[in-house]
Chain A
Amino acid sequence: MHSSPPTISRSARPQRLIHEVTELPPFQTLIDEHAGDVMAVCRGAVGSSDADDCFQETFISALRAYPKLKEAGNLRGWLVTIAHRKAIDHHRARGRRPVPVAEVKEVAVEDPEPGDGIWELVGALPPKQRAAVTLRYASDLPHAEIAAALGCSPEAARRSLHEGIKRLRKELA
């Protein structure tokens, strides 16, 4: 069996054959599915009282960029990344030490189910611990990626997470 030779030269190939069109779902779908997660990330990163600002900024930014989004495969990860950037903006605007989250990658793990008031406590943690706990439990990042996101060694990330959890346990006890 021989495959027949191509009848259309590469340069003459119609645009639609080389350009994959991504069909984006209605934006409301993103809200219905991920608003809870985005709010949890915001609460963890900036605390309860400012969480709604972070939430609004996140979805307005997402809405602005949405029609040009090339890849609709991981919309939750995309939203969580924006939420982290907005949280950093928030801390900078407040003149606090920014939480250095450069890039947030996404892995599929079960969604967290925060109990009553837990995110308020997380929001009250020192910045490094807060970021480590949020990245681990709201964004489902593994230790190595938390380290990369925080720009520290995996050992330091593990320590921040450990210290944060220890403190939360004490607060909850």
Chain B
Amino acid sequence: MKDSLNRLAERASKEGLLDVAYTTTDSPFGTLLLARTPRGLVRIGLPNQDADELLVDLATRVSPRVLEAPAQLDEARRELELYFEGELTDFDLPLDWQLSKDFRRKVLRAIARIPYGQTRTYTQMATSAGNERAVRAAGTACGSNPLPLIVPCHRVLRTGGALGGYGGGLPMKEGLLRLEGTLKD
């Protein structure tokens, strides 16, 4: 049955019927959900998020043609593995931004430019996105980030250095900042 299902996913992709391909992969923080469209990576689910709910959300907001197709996510999985090993600092993956709109998308695009091993504040992100007074909205944009890790919202801290929040939980944010050498013990 497994071969049949792999063949099905492959053929669906060839015939343009695979709108959302997904897989799960291990990380030092737990299991991640990776999902992509033909345009690029569209959603990453963190270990504390309910994968089934995320898939239902993708079915509603992107397309109900959602299929488990690990081969479609080989490159994303490989880059994430290298990142967690400290071997990769810049992701080179096509992204599909369709799940974030307007100001939130601007904030997320600004976050995507924060270099590895550096941090910014929510105020700086609001300013980069074109509205320095929208600090709270910038925080909300971080919280709704559909592509955590790749769009490194863990590099955004509160003014004064407090960690702020993280969709994957604060221990994960700390762990990522340690991995990048930003947070020292």
Give A contacts to B, CB under 8 Å. Answer: 23-28, 31, 35-36, 39, 52, 55-56, 59-60, 63-64, 66-67
Looking at the assembled complex, report how far the CB atom of A167 sits from the nearest CB atom of chain B, in whole angstroms: 28
By DSSP majority rule, is chain A's interface helix, strand, loop, or mixed?
A: helix
Additional 7 contacts, C-beta under 8 A, given A55-B4, A66-B64? A23-B60, A25-B56, A31-B8, A39-B1, A56-B7, A63-B17, A67-B63
Q: Which residue of A lies closest to B20 (CB)?
A: A26
Q: Which residue of B lies closest to A67 (CB)?
A: B64
Q: Are B5 and A60 in contact (CB under 8 A)?
A: no
Total interface residues in chain B, CB < 8 Å: 22
Q: Are A28 and B68 in contact (CB under 8 A)?
A: yes
- Name the interface residues of B57-79: CB closer than 8 Å to any CB of A: 58-60, 63-68
Q: Are B1 and A27 in contact (CB under 8 A)?
A: no
Question: For the complex, what is the distance from the CA of A27 to the CA of B12, rounded to whole Å?
Answer: 12
**CB-CB < 8 A to A25: which residues of B?**
56, 59, 64
Q: Are B8 and A27 in contact (CB under 8 A)?
A: no
**CB-CB < 8 A to B7: which residues of A?**
52, 56
Q: Are B17 and A60 in contact (CB under 8 A)?
A: yes
**CB-CB < 8 A to A39: which residues of B?**
1, 4
Question: For the complex, what is the distance from the CA of A85 to the CA of B96, rounded to whole Å?
Answer: 37
Question: For the complex, what is the distance from the CA of A134 to the CA of B94, rounded to whole Å?
Answer: 47
Looking at the assembled complex, report how far the CB atom of A86 sits from the nearest CB atom of chain B, in whole angstroms: 13
Question: For the complex, what is the distance from the CA of A100 to the CA of B20, rounded to whole Å?
Answer: 36
B50 within 8 A of A: no
Question: Would you give 23 A-B contacts (Cβ < 8 Å), ordered by A?
Answer: A23-B59, A23-B60, A24-B59, A26-B56, A26-B58, A26-B59, A26-B64, A26-B66, A27-B59, A27-B66, A28-B55, A31-B8, A35-B4, A35-B5, A39-B1, A39-B4, A55-B4, A56-B4, A56-B11, A60-B12, A60-B17, A63-B17, A66-B64
Question: For the complex, what is the distance from the CA of A60 to the CA of B18, rounded to whole Å?
Answer: 10
Name the residue in B1, B12, B64 with the highest tally of chain A Cβ atoms < 10 Å from its Cβ: B64
Q: Are B66 and A64 in contact (CB under 8 A)?
A: no
Specify which of B11, B15, B60, B65 is in contact with A27 (CB 8 Å cutoff). B65
